[in-house]
Structure 1
């Protein structure tokens, strides 16, 4: 699902809302103007009709007066006849005193005008809307009555016309028009206004509903986005690699651990067919996709492009809905390297335990006879002169017996557990002591020893006896590997982030073959005729006792020959061991340094 950004979503909604509101305003203004226009048009029609009738009355009056020179007032008949029109409610004339002179309905006989508007000019017209007792509205027009116009015609005789004009001088004509057309127009306008109001309400409701829908959609979209992000974070935070694949074996989603284990990038996996990475038939992935059969904890080997292989624990489960329809599978990859390393360590420990049991029995059976043989050989040698062959043979016997006893001692030391006795140790002093132990042999063979300790190495908690033995073994191996005129370098550095020290012993000898490098730390493996094969095995055991490790590089980086051993030893106080803290509470630290 594509999630619309909040800003874009609201921008679209506000744009539509603005357009709808603009339409509402235009419709409202149009309705209001149409309402007023219809009403004003109806009122104007009534007004013009009233004036037309008045003018017709005046014209009729003029015509009657000119035809009846006898002076008989025929205006009353004209008023009565004119007032009979269905559009006229009433019509009457009042004199200057306000008395009704002529009328169209009998009820006005002998009454006075209740409305006496003032006129500034003879052409002024006054109007008003009245509500009658029966509730009907009328449009009343008042105008000065001028049957002869504003000025008399000079050609008329003054005999008849003068009296008529004098009789109606100052008169006012009142004409009341029914407002049925106006009311019909008003009702039509109201009906139109109600329709438009309904349209406006519908549009307004549509806007509100649309806004609610947009907001609901945004909330749903945000919830889905948060759920997807949370699920993605959970998968990304898993310690194992997770892959989801479709029916064709193409990767759909994955986490960083999966890419790291497979040794590929996110760009590569987009176009990668996983069937080229895993054998779907052999691993059972094909059965999971097509038959829904899960693969549980199957150990496989994954070979990378550089030729290295990685042990993986594979679990594959089908992706299917409630109806059982399958759309792919989920693969979980677990790195078994550490487990394999621990298994190898356990096997090595079991092997050492067996060697220890063997060594304990053999040592007892060998040492006792060796002591007797050595003693008798020594006595036999002393019974002959120094230059005699018998004396020489006896000395060879003693030396060889000592060598056998040394092998038995190494075997016993290697097989028995090494209990740590950490002490506050200045590494520079310890390495200087080791160099002093081998300096005589190095000088005899013409080998130069260089010691380099970084400044700032703190006082660390180690077992000085075990570390001395480990470094001494590495130095002896380096001296044996170096030729006359060669050099051996020993360097120490502090790694504060890891809380450990690093000791490197480098020689410029012929080096170690790649196929042999993995075997040099195994017990009893040696390439020297007189070696026991226990020296490097003891070094590894001491390193593991200090929660460290030992490794070999041959040749060292940047060199064409030689061998470098890297010994990593953890500061036993860095782990916060309470026993170590109690042990060091009363120890005075040494302060000597290597010159």
Structure 2
């Protein structure tokens, strides 16, 4: 998995908290407005419907009075008084009045009101009373009423509203003497009829409707609010989970890409998280059952570190060594801290282990470079002063040795003087080769030719000690004959230094083997590997750690510069020298030359 993550500046936590709250407030306000609007519309509709029903009821009373007024005039007044009195007993009927055109009451449900003025003539004129019934809401005695009024027409059928339900209740048109239906003649009347209907029950029912619709609207609005809020939070939950997964993936990628080993444990030391560097250093991914606790790791005593952290100490870049399973010592620096949760609660420990192997190598190389620099300064100062006298000494020793060759003791002494002079000259040459930058003369060469020549040069010394030298090129003849760019003389010097050390470290009856192979064929980082293996006494870990240190030697007559000179020559060719050894089993020096460096134009 390789995702590209880009960190963008997100909103502040307060803004993240306010955003859904504002959305919820806006949503609740919108739902409230819609609910109130729906209740108002429904209440207005109910109000109109109730007023229409009350008006219809009053029209029924008026129609009944008009139908009952067909009797003769002398009888109609008494009959109307009784009828109005009976009709006024109906629920919600406040009053019924017959009024002359001047506003004087002729018949009233309350007999005490007869002869009084109901409305002045001017007010009646403003009401514009006619044959069609009209209505209005009035306040009488502190009570709201619906007053319905029209011209009283006792002999007229329902001509104003022929299609209404009231018309269906009225009598049909009477037939004429010839058998055909005819409309009765409209009886003229100078009286007006007023019916007052109390609205108290109407108001109660209206408020009941308001409460009923308000509750329904509130429930519907609450359901909508809960539903929309639930959808919002579900979406927000999914978004949060996706963001959490992305954050976890990013965090794990950062943790695994961290160059140091990270180990996270709980309060008891149980391992809860490690990155790949931690698994590699602590050997947690070697195919075996991974330990659950750091206390099960034998490399380090973790409990004192935890005790220090619990005491409030700070552990930062503390250098120590891990003893791995193969007795390999791994230098590391440890930083540690306590993990405090969001509620200021202690949740575990964090350990950061940084591998110092490369740093130690660099430090060692820096020290070696300092020594080489000092050696170079020394060589530059003494080379000229030593070599000129050595040349004179060797010349005179050679001359005197020839003069006293008949004297055996003097001749032996002269040869010894010549050999020591030559050895001292070689020491100066090694000193200069190590101290001065090498200038290689790269030319096309065959590796088999170089190896065979080196074997021929070391053969006399090996035979003198009874050591067998083997050059194995049977399986790599094609590789050995391949043309590469090489300074053959310089490379020969490096090989001879390794072979001389092998002869000196191997006892009589032992063997030395030189082999050639191609390391990682076909890969971009493939090497040409030349190995020199002996069956000598081998080396300890301490000796191997100081092999390439100037003047370090385990031989009584050694200078400690041969391996350094060989290493420098190999590095100039772009390669390196690897060493593996076991005490009492022998040693192998391997020269690795990268193909990308030695092929060049010589292929």
Instruction: Tell me which residue corresponds to 1:141.
Output: 166
C-alpha RMSD of the superposition: 6.4
Q: Could you tell me whether the CA contact under 8 Å between 1:302 and 1:310 is conserved in 2?
A: yes
**Mapping for residues 10-21 of structure 1, pairs under 5 Å:** none
Distance between the aligned counterparts of 1:538 and 1:28, measured in 2?
A: 99
Distance between the aligned counterparts of 2:237 and 2:422, measured in 1?
A: 86
The CA deviation at 1:550 is: 0.9
Structure 1 window deviating more from structure 2 (405-414 vs 214-223): it is 214-223
Instruction: Tell me which residue corresponds to 1:339.
Output: 359
The CA deviation at 1:409 is: 0.8
Instruction: Tell me which residue corresponds to 2:152.
Output: none
Instruction: Confirm whether residue 114 of structure 1 aligns to residue 105 of structure 2.
Output: no
- The one of 304, 310, 319 aligned to 2:330: 310
Distance between the aligned counterparts of 1:133 and 1:294, measured in 2?
A: 89
Instruction: Confirm whether residue 409 of structure 1 aligns to residue 433 of structure 2.
Output: no
C-alpha change, 1:80 and 1:410, in structure 2 (3 Å) is: farther
- The one of 291, 301, 318 aligned to 1:279: 301
Per-residue CA deviation, residues 270-297 of structure 1 (Å, 9 max, x unaligned), is 54338965435765x522322x222343
Please state whether the residue corresponding to 2:294 is helix, strand or coil.
coil
**Mapping for residues 419-498 of structure 1, pairs under 5 Å:** 419-422=437-440, 424-426=442-444, 428-429=445-446, 431-439=448-456, 449-451=471-473, 452=476, 465-474=489-498, 488-491=514-517
Distance between the aligned counterparts of 1:548 and 1:376, measured in 2?
A: 42
Instruction: Tell me which residue corresponds to 1:538.
Output: 565
Q: Could you tell me whether the CA contact under 8 Å between 1:297 and 1:314 is conserved in 2?
A: yes
Instruction: Confirm whether residue 568 of structure 1 aligns to residue 589 of structure 2.
Output: no
Which runs of no fewer than 5 residues in structure 2 stay unpaired? 1-29, 99-105, 110-117, 139-144, 149-163, 188-192
**Mapping for residues 80-479 of structure 1, pairs under 5 Å:** 80-84=81-85, 85-86=87-88, 114=131, 131-132=135-136, 136=146, 141-143=166-168, 145-146=170-171, 178=197, 180=199, 181=201, 184-201=204-221, 203-204=223-224, 234-244=254-264, 247-251=267-271, 253-265=273-285, 268=290, 270-273=292-295, 278-279=300-301, 285-290=306-311, 292-317=312-337, 330-349=350-369, 368=389, 372=393, 375-376=396-397, 379-381=400-402, 390=407, 394=411, 398=415, 401-402=418-419, 405-406=422-423, 408-410=425-427, 412-414=429-431, 416-422=434-440, 424-426=442-444, 428-429=445-446, 431-439=448-456, 449-451=471-473, 452=476, 465-474=489-498
Please state whether the residue corresponding to 1:305 is helix, strand or coil.
coil
Please state whether the residue corresponding to 1:273 is helix, strand or coil.
helix
Q: Could you tell me whether the CA contact under 8 Å between 1:142 and 1:172 is conserved in 2?
A: no
Q: Could you tell me whether the CA contact under 8 Å between 1:381 and 1:391 is conserved in 2?
A: no
The CA deviation at 1:515 is: 2.9
Please state whether the residue corresponding to 2:166 is helix, strand or coil.
strand
The CA deviation at 1:240 is: 2.7
Please state whether the residue corresponding to 1:401 is helix, strand or coil.
helix
C-alpha change, 1:213 and 1:545, in structure 2 (3 Å) is: same
Distance between the aligned counterparts of 1:234 and 1:207, measured in 2?
A: 40
Q: Could you tell me whether the CA contact under 8 Å between 1:503 and 1:566 is conserved in 2?
A: yes
Instruction: Confirm whether residue 504 of structure 1 aligns to residue 530 of structure 2.
Output: yes
Q: Give the TM-score taking structure 1 as reference length.
A: 0.59
Instruction: Tell me which residue corresponds to 1:579.
Output: none
Distance between the aligned counterparts of 2:334 and 2:409, measured in 1?
A: 67
The CA deviation at 1:303 is: 1.6
Distance between the aligned counterparts of 2:416 and 2:80, measured in 1?
A: 166
Q: Give the TM-score taking structure 2 as reference length.
A: 0.58
Distance between the aligned counterparts of 1:143 and 1:197, measured in 2?
A: 38
Per-residue CA deviation, residues 339-388 of structure 1 (Å, 9 max, x unaligned), is 22233334445555677788776996698468636744665456657xxx
C-alpha change, 1:458 and 1:441, in structure 2 (3 Å) is: closer
Distance between the aligned counterparts of 1:48 and 1:131, measured in 2?
A: 12
Q: Could you tell me whether the CA contact under 8 Å between 1:447 and 1:484 is conserved in 2?
A: no
Per-residue CA deviation, residues 72-127 of structure 1 (Å, 9 max, x unaligned), is 996775555334424568799xxxxxxxxx9999999xx99835xxxxxxxxxxxx
Instruction: Tell me which residue corresponds to 2:154.
Output: none
Distance between the aligned counterparts of 1:26 and 1:538, measured in 2?
A: 96
Per-residue CA deviation, residues 145-203 of structure 1 (Å, 9 max, x unaligned), is 559x999xxxxxxxxxx99xxxx995999998948455653453244324433454455
Q: Could you tell me whether the CA contact under 8 Å between 2:510 and 2:536 is conserved in 1?
A: no
Instruction: Tell me which residue corresponds to 1:584.
Output: none
Distance between the aligned counterparts of 1:136 and 1:45, measured in 2?
A: 8
C-alpha change, 1:34 and 1:467, in structure 2 (3 Å) is: farther
Number of residue pairs aligned between Structure 1 and Structure 2 = 504
C-alpha change, 1:321 and 1:184, in structure 2 (3 Å) is: closer
Instruction: Tell me which residue corresponds to 1:515.
Output: 540
Structure 1 window deviating more from structure 2 (392-401 vs 432-441): it is 392-401
Distance between the aligned counterparts of 2:340 and 2:170, measured in 1?
A: 100
C-alpha change, 1:277 and 1:503, in structure 2 (3 Å) is: closer
